[in-house]
Amino acid sequence: ARIKMPRGKGIWPAFWMLGDDITSAHWPTCGEIDIVENLGSEPSIAHGTIHGPGYSGDHGIGSPFTLSSNQRFSDSFHVFAVEWEPQEIRFYVDNNLYATRRPSDLPQGAKWVYDHPFFILLNLAIGGNWPGNPDETTEFPQKMLVDYVRVYRRK
């Protein structure tokens, strides 16, 4: 997806996926792939994370990508992507590979749950445990501008 992020304390935009069996398997057993999460108070850092049984919430397995030269994800549009295969998930920002996740990255005994269909979500949350609450410096209204979302399948 090509997205221009909002910014400010307490702002939490995300482009992510959940396993389509969430109603029967429940979270985190259904699996979650955070293609990008951004904290408005850290406007130069994008986070890509996977969550599953035994590695969810604060224990999700993730990596940050940091823009160079004091750039911010709120200054212009950026492309956030994953290449997802049954045994590997690769995370990209602007065509730059910055993280790869495989079953071998999981805690011992944890289950890899990325071998079934998922659905896409885009959202802009305000507040929460991770970003904290907005304060007097946070400007409103906020917008997460989405130019496009594309899904490709290998032949």
Instruction: Check: CB of residue 60 under 8 Å from CB of residue 34.
Output: yes
pLDDT tens sequence across 52-86: 999 999 999 999 999 998 899 999 999 999 999 99
Q: Which of 32, 83, 88, 139 is catalytic?
A: 32
pLDDT at 113 over 90: yes
Active site residue 136: no
pLDDT tens sequence across 29-59: 999 999 999 999 999 999 999 999 999 999 9
pLDDT at 1 over 90: yes
Q: Which of 37, 42, 83, 136 is catalytic?
A: 37
Active site residue 37: yes
The domains located in the chain, with CATH, are 2-148 (2.60.120.200)
Instruction: Check: CB of residue 25 under 8 Å from CB of residue 52.
Output: no
| Three-state DSSP class for residue 25 | helix
Q: Angle at CA 32, nearest 5°, toward 28 and 37?
A: 125
Query: What does the block give as tokens for 8?
Result: 């400010």
